[in-house]
Structure 1
Amino acid sequence: IVVGPVTARFPGLPLLDQQMLNDVLWFTVKVVGVIFFILLPRGVFPRIRIDLLLHIGWYKLIGLAFVNIFIALALVYAGVLGPGGIL
């Protein structure tokens, strides 16, 4: 998972080796963030059943995908998206 540049600079840290401390601090922040976002769904949904997941996929997400396609088609037809459009 790529979560951005290798380093980020925090100006104003008066320590021995500011670049090394910044790199270690930024790496720690990234690792904690990735671990948090991996473990959060595991704690929120401890036992998701496959039949519920299939129900959500077939009945909710496919409907949402069709709505998304129709909105995109309407925006292309109206000239907002695509060649010559605003976006």
Structure 2
Amino acid sequence: FVPTNFTLTEVLEREKPPTVEAQYVWGSRSLNTCFETIFKLYRGFVGAPHFSAICRLLGYRGLFVVTAEVMKVAQSLVCLICLT
């Protein structure tokens, strides 16, 4: 993907989630720290395993429909950007 300066979505302002005691999340404070450290490595990752699972779930026809819809949206966004 190519980074762009255009914002294609609105920025959402979300409330901060309530703080939860350590034992209710992963069992203890040290386990929370371990899991958070591991999860930080994979935060925001979308890759081949995800697309493989999507293709397996949708099948050939479903994949065609999703691809066609994504192309329509991409084309309309490109046209919208070109007109401005």
Instruction: Give TM-score scaled by structure 2 length.
Output: 0.31
Larger Rg over CA atoms: 1
Greater RCO (Cα-Cα under 8 Å, separation 6 or more): 1
